[in-house]
Amino acid sequence: MISPRSFSEAVSRLVCGVFGAFSPRDYVAEEVYLGLSALQHRGQESAGVAWIDSDRRINVIKGMGLVYEALSQSVLAETPARSVIGHVRYSTAGGSMLQNAQPICANYAKGPVAVAHNGNLTNFDALRNTLENRGAIFQSTSDTEAILQLMAHQPRRSPFEALMRALAEVEGAYCLVVLMEEGLVAARDPWGFRPLSIGRRGDNYYVASESCAFSLLGASFVRDVEPGEVILIGSGGLKSYRLPVESGKKWLCSFEYVYFARPDSIIEGRSVYEARQEMGRRLAQSESVDGVDFVASFPDSGTTAALGFAAESGIPFEAAVVRNRYVGRTFIQPTQKVRELGVRIKLSPSPSLFKDRSAVLVDDSIVRGTTAGLVVSMIRECRARALHLRISSPPVRFPCFYGIDTPSSGDLAAAKYSLNDIAKTVGADSLRYLSASAMTDAIGLPPDSLCTACFDGNYLDGDSSSSPRGCCGKIFD
Ligand code: AMP
Ligand code: SF4
């Protein structure tokens, strides 16, 4: 079973973006570049693409930074590849290096293979021990490498069969796109932690972490990859397989709807925009707000919920905090000082809107409290009369072990302090959060199909109905 505590030592905690394209006749490397650009919000540390050339060799290009910095669109437009995968990696403190960029590639006994992974394997330590005892030498600290190593230890099976068997041994969160000579493979873990969608334009197939990546390519959303499903796309079209693993229930990450996914994506049939707006509406329903002049948001993360709050309460929305669009995310900067400076560079309140007025300020979440504290103090400098902070998700009290980089409990504001103390620390006149039930109602999926562990501490290892499995039981030849 999964042990969140031992896993907390693992090295790579990533929400990332994966993209794959297959065409029977067109070159698709440039489309992967465009697809990755649409998934840029899922990772800004590095980007990479991989394809298999006519000499059966795997090719990979990776670089640090945003997609346009790491990769050359014009080079990819000239690349003769009909099956290509790509990855954008989310930055984690201390782990920012090219060595951690994906896809991870190998030319092993059964041919070339490349893997791009979104999520976290929670039994990585056990897998690594078993594999090292069998002689494996790991090249990186990435849990994704365990999948390649598991494949390489089954030299009598085809790459696809070896991958299926490898996936039956891994636990935790994974959405994968894998390139092998048999075709383009996409796989989603049996719990369905992270989203993964299939798109199509004519005979061309696409697989993306989020459906927002398809419209840029003129492709239509076909459906989500099901939890526990593996699809193989080749010249014969798309074939679907099931992993031989039972999961007690689905564990789709509720935080994707709160913060991570792009609002124009559809996950499990639910529009992220609508879910987020509904969170704002339900937040407004939970109280009567008097004497407030306007609703404002922390852009962009709180804006959709703030619009819902304004619509429900009848209080006008003002774009009173301005976002500098030319600087990146601040959350994950390695030191608190840099993080604070990052918030100041990124967000700036309009003095003329706040002066002598009272506002409701909406953001999607409080993690360490850095953003809320700084924005409220900047608004105080504008001499606002009153500031009421409203958060469109429940308090984040527990770390995530399934691929979102939330810090350990010791750094989480709501794990350390009471709500009154958080309000005082950030300098707000009042602070309210959305309740857990209102959040799941707003998402609109059955509550038992969602992961809410960072809000309630209900981790997968408490899911007694998930089938427990040994490590690498019968897979080796
Ligand atoms: P903090 O400043 O540490 O309280 O972080 C909260 C801010 O970061 C909010 O404005 C969120 O929109 C954003 N945020 C929440 N979770 C994450 C995450 N896992 N990665 C990056 N940003 C986040
Ligand atoms: Fe998502 Fe939170 Fe679950 Fe992590 S713990 S998968 S962030 S809901």
Instruction: Note the pLDDT of residue 12.
Output: 42
Q: Taking 70 as the threshold, does the pLDDT of residue 6 lie above it?
A: no
As a whole number of angstroms, the distance between CA 378 and CA 32 comes to 41
Q: Taking 50 as the threshold, does the pLDDT of residue 395 lie above it?
A: yes
Instruction: Note the pLDDT of residue 247.
Output: 82
Q: Taking 90 as the threshold, does the pLDDT of residue 469 lie above it?
A: no
Q: pTM for this structure?
A: 0.93
Nearest ligand by distance to the CA of 347? 1
What is the per-residue DSSP string for 61-127?
EEEESSHHHHS-HHHHHT---SEEEEEEE---TT--SGGG-S-EEEEETTEEEEEEEEEEETTHHHH
Q: Is 179 buried (19+), middle (13-18) or exposed (0-12) by CB count in 10 A? A: buried
* 16 is an active site residue: yes
Residue among 279, 454, 456, 461 whose CB has most ligand 2 atoms within 8 A, to mutate: 454
Q: Where does ligand 1 bind, in terms of residues with CB under 6 Å?
A: 259, 298, 301, 329, 331-332, 363-372, 404-406
Q: Is 416 buried (19+), middle (13-18) or exposed (0-12) by CB count in 10 A? A: middle
Mean pLDDT in residue range 108-120 = 94
As a whole number of angstroms, the distance between CA 53 and CA 79 comes to 10
Confidence of residue 474 (pLDDT cuts 50, 70, 90): low
Instruction: Note the pLDDT of residue 50.
Output: 98
Nearest ligand by distance to the CA of 303? 1
Q: Taking 60 as the threshold, does the pLDDT of residue 333 lie above it?
A: no
Residue among 452, 456, 460 whose CB has most ligand 2 atoms within 8 A, to mutate: 452
More confident: 26 or 248: 26
Question: How many CA atoms within 13 Å lie on the side-chain side of 86?
Answer: 37
As a whole number of angstroms, the distance between CA 467 and CA 290 comes to 51
Residue among 254, 257, 398 whose CB has most ligand 2 atoms within 8 A, to mutate: 254
Instruction: Note the pLDDT of residue 90.
Output: 84
Assigned token pair, 457: 């501490």
As a whole number of angstroms, the distance between CA 443 and CA 230 comes to 26
Decide: 219 and 170 in contact? Cβ < 8 Å. Answer: no
Confidence of residue 56 (pLDDT cuts 50, 70, 90): confident
Instruction: Note the pLDDT of residue 141.
Output: 81
Q: Taking 50 as the threshold, does the pLDDT of residue 93 lie above it?
A: no
Just give the CATH number of 271-446: 3.40.50.2020
Give me the percent of the chain exceeding a pLDDT of 90. 77
Instruction: Note the pLDDT of residue 331.
Output: 53
- DSSP tag of 237: E
Instruction: Note the pLDDT of residue 9.
Output: 35
Cα(109) to centroid(ligand 2), Å: 37
Confidence of residue 340 (pLDDT cuts 50, 70, 90): confident
Cα(366) to centroid(ligand 1), Å: 6
CB of 193 closer than 6 A to ligand 2? Answer: yes
Instruction: Note the pLDDT of residue 225.
Output: 98
Q: Taking 80 as the threshold, does the pLDDT of residue 464 lie above it?
A: no
More confident: 77 or 404: 77
- DSSP tag of 27: -
Confidence of residue 457 (pLDDT cuts 50, 70, 90): very high
Q: Where are the domains of the chain?
A: 4-251, 271-446
Q: 213 CB contacts (<8 Å, ≥6 apart)?
A: 17, 19, 35, 36, 38, 39, 199, 206
Instruction: Note the pLDDT of residue 343.
Output: 85
Decide: 64 and 102 in contact? Cβ < 8 Å. Answer: no
CB of 259 closer than 6 A to ligand 2? Answer: no
For domain 4-251, the CATH superfamily is Aminohydrolase, N-terminal nucleophile (Ntn) domain (3.60.20.10)
Which amino acid does the sequence have at 281? R
Q: Is 63 buried (19+), middle (13-18) or exposed (0-12) by CB count in 10 A? A: middle
Mean pLDDT in residue range 47-70 = 94
Instruction: Note the pLDDT of residue 100.
Output: 81
Assigned token pair, 324: 């500098």
Nearest ligand by distance to the CA of 250? 2
Instruction: Note the pLDDT of residue 334.
Output: 54
Q: Taking 90 as the threshold, does the pLDDT of residue 344 lie above it?
A: no
* Region of poorest pLDDT, from 201-215, 416-430, 457-471: 457-471
CB of 460 closer than 6 A to ligand 2? Answer: no
User: Matching CATH topology for 4-251 and 271-446?
Assistant: no
Confidence of residue 13 (pLDDT cuts 50, 70, 90): very low
Give 267-313 pLDDT, tens digit per residue: 999 999 999 999 999 999 988 888 999 999 999 999 999 999 999 99
As a whole number of angstroms, the distance between CA 464 and CA 247 comes to 10
Mean pLDDT in residue range 223-249 = 94
Ligand 2 atom closest to the Cα of residue 399 is 5
More confident: 472 or 17: 17
Instruction: Note the pLDDT of residue 248.
Output: 80
Instruction: Note the pLDDT of residue 91.
Output: 62
What is the per-residue DSSP string for 108-166?
ETTEEEEEEEEEEETTHHHHHHHHHHTT---SSS-THHHHHHHHHT-TTS-HHHHHHHH
Q: Taking 50 as the threshold, does the pLDDT of residue 3 lie above it?
A: no
